[in-house]
A = this chain, B = another copy of it.
Amino acid sequence: MDRGLLHGEGVFETLHLRPSGPWLLDEHLDRLERSAALLEIPLPPRSDLAELAFQGARAWPGDEGALRLIVTAGPPPVVYATVGPIPGSVLRERREGIRLITADRGIQTPPPWSLVTAKSLSYAENLAAKRWAIRQGADDLLWLTPDGHALEAPTANLVWLTGTTLCTVPPDGILAGTTAAYLLEHAADLGLTADIRKITATDLPAADGIWLASSLRGLAEVHTLDGTKRAASEWTPRLLALLGFS
């Protein structure tokens, strides 16, 4: 029995499988390394993890799929890879957008042992938060600091547009997003500028477009924020195309 698995002691990455292979593999392996360092889990050689990802991609017959790479703490560390379809709820959120609510996460400054900047297998509270949001009549929630600044969603990052500036929040007290980073790096391809800045829940409704970004969803446009309906952004299809979703 894998002792790490029984304590949620492991790190993982979820990658979008495309006909071209596992998307943003290098960026995901970079983040896996940062997560593993925080949990003090020794990783196998990077080339082995990359080869495993390619094997997973070759094993998947569909147009798009989900690859999970997992390394548990053990000891000894154990590597797992799973491949499967994109969940229907994820495809629907990408296509139709979401109702998002904001909620205080209750943590102003994470303590020094905090793992909020790591993608760990201790994911039960993230999933519980999402279930709570659904009980409130929403699809997802955006965590805030007690003083009202946006952090992240339990399984996605916040991206918004102000005029022609595409923004996300600084990577403090959150898991830095690979999809959000890609969008900002390539914003110029669409004639947009990019910026990393803080935003409060009070200022967020004035944004010209709000999305949650994650590897499988790509983007889910926020069509309803804290119960208030928003106009659809003309940028949603362009940003999805920039991510390779069309």
Contacts and interface: CB of A to CB of B under 8 A. Distances in A.
A124 B125 contact: no
Interface residues of A, number: 40
B124 A124 contact: no
Interface in A78-123: 80, 82, 103-115, 120-123
Contacts of A123: 7-9, 122
Contacts of A112: 103, 132
A58 interface: no
30 contacts: A1-B82, A5-B6, A6-B12, A6-B68, A6-B70, A6-B80, A7-B124, A8-B8, A8-B120, A8-B121, A8-B123, A8-B124, A9-B123, A9-B124, A39-B124, A40-B131, A103-B111, A103-B112, A106-B110, A106-B111, A111-B129, A113-B131, A114-B128, A115-B124, A115-B128, A120-B125, A121-B122, A121-B124, A122-B122, A122-B125
Interface of A: 1, 5-10, 12, 38-40, 68, 70, 80, 82, 103-115, 120-125, 127-129, 131-132, 146
